[in-house]
Amino acid sequence: MKKSILSLLVLAFAAMTSSAIAQEVRKGAVIEFEKDVHDYGDIDYQGNGTYSFVFSNTGTEPLMISQAKGSCGCTVPSWPKEPIAPGASAKIDVTYDTKRVGAISKSVTITSNAVNTPIKVIRIKGNVLPSVPVEAVPVADAVPAVDAVEEVVLPPVEEEVVELTKKQIKAKKKAEKKRLKKEAKAKKKAAKLALKKEKAAMKAEAKAAA
């Protein structure tokens, strides 16, 4: 009987100690994600590459995310800039550039004031399908006939090329504006010089007449 009572007392003490330790660990902001890995599976070329990672602050202090950085430029995260109150939930949107065909294996590193994981890594994976599935193209049509070459559809212009063209147009406009400004300044200077010469001539004539 005494042994049973002693055992119960030991178990109760252990439970209280564990609870106290758990409460101590949880003091502060605590970030908890519903899931930290998302699998897109097969996703269409230029399809929707955005996924929202939902998380909660299960701690006792406001949670503040200071930074979220993708492992490359093709993975762009968007996170809440305001503090997340204890018990509240929020989300981090991660957008993958689905113009990149092939396997996806990227990560986003989150920095916050969470006491459990101040640096947390979430991941995305999957596969971006080609713009035209290979199996959808008949073998006979894989190589076009000579007289049908003009009918071959060229691939879409990459955004980088379009962006480069925009930059070139902008640079050309800037250069033209600079040239016109320089010409106007030169004309103004020439007119001022001509006026000065005319005044000097008139002054010389008046002096000679006197």
Cα distances (angstroms) measured from residue 93 to each of 38, 53, 57, 66, 159: 12, 6, 17, 15, 23
Average pLDDT over residues 118-126: 97
pLDDT-derived band at 35 (thresholds 50, 70, 90) equals very high
- Alpha helix positions (H), the chain: 2-25, 159-209
pLDDT-derived band at 3 (thresholds 50, 70, 90) equals low
The mean pLDDT value of the chain amounts to: 81
| Amino acid letter for position 197 | K
- pLDDT, tens digit, for every residue of 15-27? 665 554 444 446 9
pLDDT of residue 41: 95
More confident residue, 210 or 152: 210
The Cα 110–Cα 31 span in angstroms is: 10
> Domain 28-134 carries which CATH code?
2.60.40.10
Q: How far apart are the first and last CA of the chain?
A: 140
35-39, 77-81, 126-130, 142-146: the lowest-pLDDT one? 142-146
Kindly tell me if the per-residue pLDDT of 82 is higher than 80: yes
Kindly tell me if the per-residue pLDDT of 71 is higher than 60: yes
Length of the chain: 210
Average pLDDT over residues 94-109: 96
pTM: 0.53
pLDDT-derived band at 106 (thresholds 50, 70, 90) equals very high
pLDDT of residue 171: 85
pLDDT of residue 1: 56
Average pLDDT over residues 124-137: 78
